[in-house]
Amino acid sequence: MSTVPTGPAAARRTPRGLAASPSTRVRTLAAAGVAALAAAAVAGLVDGVGEHGDLSAYDPTVTADAVHLRTPVLTILAEVVTMVGSEVAVGLLTAGVVVWLAVRRRDRLRALHFGATMAVSAAVTLGVKHLVGRGRPPASVVLGPVDTGYSFPSGHTLFSTVFFGLVALLVADRLAEHRGGRALALAGWLVASVTVGASRIYLGYHWFTDVAAGWVLGVLVLALAVAALGLLHHRGAAGRSAAPHAEADVPSLGRDRGAGLEPVAGAVEGVDDARPAR
């Protein structure tokens, strides 16, 4: 008869992912709620841009204020920040992180998740840009080469928000027992996202609501990514929890079968003993 392991044996058989499943479910539900709020915010921004009202009504004023704040030092800083947040730079950084996760950390699931999330952010950027079709600020306020592509949302802002958010999640997971480290990771993500977005307004490439849409869409993509990762971990924990029970039943089954065959073996031996010698 099989027995349920208790004490140290039970602790060894309990998967770590199973113990963390309640917090994983809470995290997944919270991410789904954030994604819903972000989607509603994006819908509001798109509606305002289409009607030239709401927050988009303040776009010319914000751009004019940014032009008045320009100084040689701020311009150099803005150009450096916007270069770090460019599609090319973020793409190279993404490739580096994916390779590090897959080769160095041997975490192929997390590597695939990181790369897929960045690919989704690129698809969302292109899709919304063509869906809204908004023009950029006038060329007279642009510091640098003029970009004739669509303006809404800011691709630099969205890519940076998603990329640095994913990096912050990796750091937070590594520092799960250190609240201070997790707070610093979150602060770093916020500073990087806000700085890149502000540089796009300062250099005249985007309206304020373009950047705001980049932030909100970035949060939306991140929230969906966190929810998806939570579901993957939950399924993995469920699969690992089922395996020990199956393994525990196999030895007991062998013992039960052996116990049932003992009387038969004894009877056969008795028959052999009763046979006359030839």
pLDDT for the residue 172:
86
How confident is the model over 16-34, as a mean pLDDT? 68
- pLDDT tens digits, residue range 209-246? 999 999 999 999 999 999 888 777 666 555 555 555 54
- 57-116: per-residue pLDDT in tens? 999 999 999 999 999 999 999 999 999 999 999 999 999 999 999 998 898 989 999 999
pLDDT tens digits for 27-54? 788 888 999 999 999 999 999 998 888 8
> Which pLDDT does position 32 carry in this prediction?
87
Spatial distance between the Cα atoms of 246 and 244, rounded to a whole number of angstroms: 5
The encoded tokens of residue 115 equal 């790369």
pTM above 0.85, yes or no: no
Cβ-proximal residues to 41 (8 Å cutoff; 6+ apart), any chain: 216
C-alpha distances in Å from residue 201, one per residue of 86, 90, 143, 177, 207: 14, 19, 10, 38, 6
